[in-house]
Amino acid sequence: MRTKKEPFLKRNWVQSLLASLFCVVLGLLIGYIVLLFINPAGAWDAITTVMKNFFTYPNPTVANKYFGSTLVKTAPLLMCALSIQFAYKVGLFNIGAAGQYVAGAGACLYMALALNLPWWLCLLGSMAAGALLGAISGLLKSYCNVNEVISGIMLNWIGLYTVNMVLTNVKESTSPYTYQVASFNASALLPSLGLGKLFSNNQYVTIAVPLAVIMAVVIKIVLDKSMFGYELKATGYNKSAAKYCGMKEKRNIILTLVISGALAGMGASLLYLTGYEQWQCTQSSVPAMGFNGIAATFLGGLDPIGTVVASYFIQHITSGGAYVDKTMYSSQISDLICALIIYLCGFVLFLKYFLNSRLAKREEKAAVRAAALAAETQPEAPTEVQPEAPAEVQPEAPAETPPDTPADEDSHGKGGEA
Amino acid sequence: MLLLIQYTLIFASVLVLVALGGCFSEHSGVINLGLEGIMVIGALGGAMAMKYISPDVPAIVMILAVICCSVLLGMLYASLLAVACINCKADQTIVGTALNILATAAATVIVKAVNTAENPDNVSSTVQYVSAKRAFLVNIGGFEFNWFMLVAVLALIAAAVTLYRTRFGLRLMACGEHPQAADSVGINVYKMRWAGVLISGMLGGLGGIVYITAGVSEWKFENGVAGFGFLALAVMIFGQWKPGRIALAALLFGLFRALSNVYAGFSFLTALNIPSSIYNMMPYIISLVVLAFTSKKSRAPKAEGIPYDKGQR
């Protein structure tokens, strides 16, 4: 811990929050500009619709119900975000979360519809399926030096085609969609425990939502407070040093991707076992959930609790996109905003650096001014900065980001094995 | 059989172009995971050009215009990567991924906006270019020669010569191996990396338009380019960052990609009764297997992925 109390703006979480807000505002602004280009007439309406989401319904009961639906889709997004975050803290960029999510969806739907298993077995099955894909990435990474991003992308597509093939066995004969879980095997539905009643009887609100939040807390505790988490993070910072200290660095990499995969796979069952959505067996692109998870995790400042908020926000605008006036715009405008936010998140470190150097400069000026004041005998000393700064005056705080910023170390230590 | 060769060649052209793009970027020291996004944007530029240029213009004008549009848009899009990764020292993996997602979203929004502006009932993200596409094809006895195949060969020769025979290429590679040393002899590392990324944008954009004209006459932009940019990266790694080997690797991968298009034409393959999903998966599975065997002794540029900081020696 730092011994001295730091100024408000220098605290790490304040900076993360400011950076995230900056990304959101700029992302929305650019989204608005794009809308203006497409059709200036309805642009303002459209961007407020995206931000309002369920508030567009004037009736509070209906709005409450759709708030519930947004939460239903937040749960899987949060799980994907946690999956990416867990791996990122260990220095791995698990873009395969999208495919692990797909594998989880395939496993839970197949177990629910073809094998008629109860929900908790389906949930475990989806975690196992996600973990399996994660393990493949992990093995390739630790034993064959294959970049986890590239193997992740390949596995995304392999997973998608496999799941399409497997779920074709349990699809409705007249449509490309799988059977309804609710009518086919009600025991596979996640229990609601009366949570749906809180949201105007929205039957899709189940224990999935609190479960996802609990997982966020668990991840936070594991990463920050446990020896296991410490070992994993140490492996992420410096693989060779971790090995030198007697940690099994290969095992740690595989284990990280297995856990990460299990989280993403579980996310899928938190959505598909509510019956909210059916799988489309002719799907030709990997679901966006895993990729939006990237946005949520970076927007959440790489902190599980921040990610809960960020996931909700991302899902809020994604759902909001469905309400824009389709005669002028497309609902993908919210995907565009999400993508912009991820892009802008790349600049977060730069922003923090910029903010810190500005703060340091300001402190330096203040110190110079104080010294000048002290040196002057007259009380009405000019406030101008003296051209020759006294050499002994030192700014009190270092100009760099505090070394305990995890993201800082990651970005410098990553890469080099593509 | 002729069809298989034709498809193999055209898909190999795509892979060669895009993998060479990745090769330039990585030799300068920037990992370009955004190639997929650059392909989408390049494809969008080319598709728009084909949509709006009247199909009656001479073929050569059409070809040049389409190539110019793709290349320019690809370079413009790649500069987003360059600004973030070279000047702002952002994480290259995050920015590359963001660009991939952004490209698909942006292309979908733009195409849908264009489509709905023309006809309010048309909310699809598909662009059609049936008549315009004819400009690229020359029929030689049943074999459809595509001018892009020639472009790919030219690009391959140009890339090999540039990288190994010119001052620029050698300097570029120095920046990817040891930027500090390059800087100490007066090479501007930032400029060189910008050049590398822009060239990759150029080739990536070109690859994008070749990909969407290969075999089909309309493209649904919601699908992006289905991981082809990453296949190209796998080709590049398999090709050990060397243009000649990249070409061979591209032919191999192109063959497997082509099989998924034309397997129905072979009686012994249809007799095996393998679902089409398996053929669709093939290129990805092959690339994983190939990567598993070749990545161990990888000859990647040493400094790739690490932002260059002048103050760090």
Note the pLDDT tens digit of each residue in A147-205. Answer: 888 899 889 989 999 999 898 888 887 878 888 877 787 788 888 777 777 777 777 88
Read off the tokens for A398. Answer: 């270092």
Residue B242 within a domain: no
- The number of folded domains in chain B is 1
Residue B174 within a domain: yes
Tell whether B114 lies on the interface with A, counting CB pairs under 8 A.
no
Contacts of A151 in chain B (CB under 8 A): 288, 291
Q: How far is it, in rounded angstroms, from Cα B192 to Cα B202?
A: 15
Closest residue on chain B to A334 (Cα): B105
- The number of folded domains in chain A is 2
Q: Between A130 and A46, where is the model more confident?
A: A130
Least Cα separation, residue A21 to chain B (angstroms): 18
- The answer to whether B292 contacts A140, with C-beta atoms less than 8 Å apart, is yes
Tell whether B78 lies on the interface with A, counting CB pairs under 8 A.
no
Contacts of B31 in chain A (CB under 8 A): 415, 418
Average model confidence (pLDDT) across chain A? 81
Residue B257 within a domain: no
B156-184, pLDDT tens digit by residue? 999 999 999 999 999 999 998 888 888 88
- The answer to whether A154 contacts B230, with C-beta atoms less than 8 Å apart, is yes
Residue A368: give the domain boundaries: 351-372+385-413
HSE-up of A335 (CA within 13 Å, CB side)? Answer: 23
Residue B283 within a domain: no
Closest residue on chain A to B286 (Cα): A154
Residue A4 has pLDDT above 80, yes or no: no
The confidence band for A5, taking pLDDT boundaries of 50, 70 and 90, is low
Tell whether B205 lies on the interface with A, counting CB pairs under 8 A.
no
Q: How far is it, in rounded angstroms, from Cα A248 to Cα A229?
A: 13
- The answer to whether B105 contacts A335, with C-beta atoms less than 8 Å apart, is yes
Residue A136 has pLDDT above 90, yes or no: yes
Tell whether B95 lies on the interface with A, counting CB pairs under 8 A.
yes
Residue A418 has pLDDT above 50, yes or no: no
The mean pLDDT values, 10 residues at a time, for chain B of 313 residues are 86 93 92 91 91 82 90 94 88 87 89 83 78 77 81 92 92 90 90 94 93 83 83 87 90 88 75 79 87 79 81 65
Read off the tokens for B82. Answer: 């360059």
Examine the domain organization and report whether A258 and A177 are in the same domain.
yes
Q: How far is it, in rounded angstroms, from Cα A310 to Cα A148?
A: 25
Examine the domain organization and report whether A139 and A225 are in the same domain.
yes
- The answer to whether A418 contacts B291, with C-beta atoms less than 8 Å apart, is no
Residue B284 within a domain: no
A62-101, pLDDT tens digit by residue? 888 888 888 888 999 999 999 999 999 888 888 899 999 9
Please report the pLDDT score of residue A411 as a whole number.
40
Q: How far is it, in rounded angstroms, from Cα A365 to Cα B185?
A: 37
Tell whether B183 lies on the interface with A, counting CB pairs under 8 A.
no
Select the residue of A161, A162, A339 nearest B105 (Cβ to Cβ): A339
Q: How far is it, in rounded angstroms, from Cα A44 to Cα A36?
A: 8
Please report the pLDDT score of residue A74 as a whole number.
92
B-facing residues of A in 162-191 (CB < 8 A) are 162, 164-165
Examine the domain organization and report whether A281 and A154 are in the same domain.
yes
Residue A60 within a domain: no
DSSP E strands in chain B: the ranges are 126-128, 137-140, 143-146, 218-220
Tell whether B38 lies on the interface with A, counting CB pairs under 8 A.
no
Please report the pLDDT score of residue A390 as a whole number.
47
Residue A159 within a domain: yes
Select the residue of A326, A347, A414 nearest B123 (Cβ to Cβ): A326
Residue A220 within a domain: yes
Please report the pLDDT score of residue A397 as a whole number.
44
Residue A133 within a domain: yes
Residue A46 per-residue DSSP state: H
Please report the pLDDT score of residue A217 as a whole number.
93
- The answer to whether B305 contacts A418, with C-beta atoms less than 8 Å apart, is yes
The confidence band for A381, taking pLDDT boundaries of 50, 70 and 90, is very low
Residue B203 within a domain: yes
- The answer to whether A144 contacts B233, with C-beta atoms less than 8 Å apart, is no
Closest residue on chain B to A353 (Cα): B88
Contact B21, B202 (CB under 8 A): yes
Radius of gyration, alpha carbons of chain B? 20
Residue A399 has pLDDT above 60, yes or no: no
* The model's pTM: 0.83
* Whole-Å CA distances, B50 to A135, B40, B130, B132: 45, 15, 9, 6
Please report the pLDDT score of residue A401 as a whole number.
42
Least Cα separation, residue B39 to chain A (angstroms): 16
Residue B164: give the domain boundaries: 11-226
Q: How many residues does chain A have?
A: 418
Is the ipTM of this structure higher than 0.90? no
Residue A402 per-residue DSSP state: P
- The answer to whether A150 contacts B98, with C-beta atoms less than 8 Å apart, is no
Residue A277 per-residue DSSP state: -
Relative orientation angle of helices B243-262 and B147-165, to the nearest 10 degrees = 160
Please report the pLDDT score of residue B226 as a whole number.
79
Q: Between A158 and A4, where is the model more confident?
A: A158
Closest residue on chain A to B226 (Cα): A285
Residue A337 within a domain: no
Residue B104 within a domain: yes
Read off the tokens for A343. Answer: 């892009």
Q: If you count residue pairs, one on A and one on B, with CB atoms under 8 Å apart, how many are there?
A: 182
Examine the domain organization and report whether A107 and A222 are in the same domain.
yes
Q: With b meaning 16 or more CB within 10 Å and e meaning fewer, what string describes A226-245?
A: eeebebbbbbbeebeebeee
Contacts of A103 in chain B (CB under 8 A): none
Residue A316 within a domain: no
Residue A321 within a domain: no
Contact A23, A341 (CB under 8 A): yes
CA A113, A116, A119, A122 torsion: positive or negative? negative
Hey, which residues does B145 pair with through a beta bridge? B138
- Best probe of the B interface among A26, A39, A88, A147, by most B CBs < 10 A, is A147
Arithmetic mean of pLDDT, A263-273:
92
The confidence band for A405, taking pLDDT boundaries of 50, 70 and 90, is very low
Contacts of A335 in chain B (CB under 8 A): 101, 104-105, 108
Highest mean pLDDT: which of A240-254, A351-365, B69-83, B202-216? B69-83
